Amino acid sequence: MNHRVLPGAPIPAVMGVLNVTPDSFSDGGLFADPEKALQRARQMVEAGVDCLDIGGESTRPGAQPVSLGEELERVCPVLEAIRGELTIPVSVDTSSPEVMREAARLGASLINDVRSFRREGAVDAAGATGLPLCIMHMQGEPATMQDRPHYADDVVAEVLAFLRYRRDELVAAGIAVERIMVDPGFGFGKSLEHNLRLLDRLETITAEDWPVLVGISRKSMLGRITGRGVEQRMPASVAAASIAMIRGASVVRVHDVVETLDAARLVRALGELEKTEGQGHE
Ligand code: HH2
């Protein structure tokens, strides 16, 4: 596990979600206004979050794609406002090459693409930014990905194979391997059982020499297990993030930053203890 993509951040790090969309599944419409988004960013920074992730396109199951103009209009003013006031690293969640370029120009620190830079021109645009990149596994496209998710044999092996393959393709395109972070993509073309298997065997993915980002916060898998609506999923989200961190995730992407930060602090303290014990035995 390492942090080459978020220099200086603790391990595990907490990434606060800032959706500037009208239709995101848990915070849609709440922070679409730039002033409200900035206020939310300030709150998260005050809580001690390690980075923010701004998204201008909802990728919830069934979501329709957003136009480029609209995505730029949603993301850019918020990124500019945050950059004008806060020093926190900001990731931009986008699949659009134009948004990637603009985000880099406005001071983004990371590009997070749920489509793993598979849109035309995305590898070139992302490569040219010089920024760290997060590649994520998704089966299908958001509009239809939950219709009938299917894996021939072992979902964990398939996700791992995809992430390795995509990492290698980016490296072949000239992107330094140190710039790449990976994400198994919880909820993206996966049934409840697929998601549970991925969480159960997350160490298969975190054991590789790359930083792993995990986003389970408030997702429907937690609703299915607890029977709770989106607004009541904080405890299950913190539990899921804790499991992911204990199993080696370097970054957790969450909505409930205050509570998840406490869990992260506990996991960090355990990590420190392990280091000291390691030294004691030398
Ligand atoms: N999940 C969502 C969006 N972006 N990026 C990464 N790397 N990993 C994730 O798991 C991930 C992601 C979906 O959650 P959210 O942003 O809260 O909802 P919406 O897509 O409806 O905006």
Phi, psi of 126, rounded to the nearest 5 degrees: -65, -40
- Using CA atoms, how far residue 267 sits from 1, 191, 207, 212, 240, in Å, is 14, 28, 17, 16, 13
Tell me the C-alpha distance between 53 and 16, whole Å.
6
CB 263 within 8 A of CB 241: yes
Q: Using 50, 70 and 90 to split pLDDT, how confident is the model at 74?
A: very high
Closest atom of ligand 1 relative to the 63 alpha carbon = 21
Q: What stretch of H or E contains 51?
A: strand 51-55
pLDDT of residue 106: 98
CA of 127 relative to ligand 1 center, distance in Å: 22
Find the catalytic residue in 40, 197, 201, 219: 219
pLDDT of residue 61 exceeding 90: no
Q: How far apart are the first and last CA of the chain?
A: 21
Query: CA Rg, the chain, in Å?
Result: 18
Q: Using 50, 70 and 90 to split pLDDT, how confident is the model at 116?
A: very high
221 lines ligand 1 (CB under 6 A): no
66 lines ligand 1 (CB under 6 A): no
Beta strands 90-93 and 180-183, pairing class: unpaired
Q: Which of 17, 20, 256 to mutate to test the pocket of ligand 1 (most atoms within 8 A of CB)?
A: 17
Q: Using 50, 70 and 90 to split pLDDT, how confident is the model at 52?
A: very high
CA of 236 relative to ligand 1 center, distance in Å: 17
Mean of per-residue pLDDT scores for the chain: 94
Q: Using 50, 70 and 90 to split pLDDT, how confident is the model at 234?
A: very high
Sheet holding 133-136, edge to edge: 180-183, 133-136, 110-113, 90-93, 51-55, 13-19, 251-254, 213-214
CA of 260 relative to ligand 1 center, distance in Å: 16
36 classed as catalytic = no
136 lines ligand 1 (CB under 6 A): yes
Average pLDDT for residues 172-192, to the nearest whole number? 97
275 classed as catalytic = no
Q: Using 50, 70 and 90 to split pLDDT, how confident is the model at 1?
A: very low
181 lines ligand 1 (CB under 6 A): no
CB 15 within 8 A of CB 53: yes
Residue that wins the pLDDT comparison between 280 and 80: 80
> Could you tell me the two tokens for 168?
């290698």
Residue that wins the pLDDT comparison between 228 and 58: 228
Residues forming beta bridges with residue 135, ordered by sequence position: 113, 182
Q: What percent of the chain has pLDDT over 90?
A: 81
Q: Using 50, 70 and 90 to split pLDDT, how confident is the model at 60?
A: confident
Task: Give the closest residue (by CA) to ligand 1 atom 21.
Answer: 24
Amino acid of residue 279: Q
32 lines ligand 1 (CB under 6 A): no
204 lines ligand 1 (CB under 6 A): no
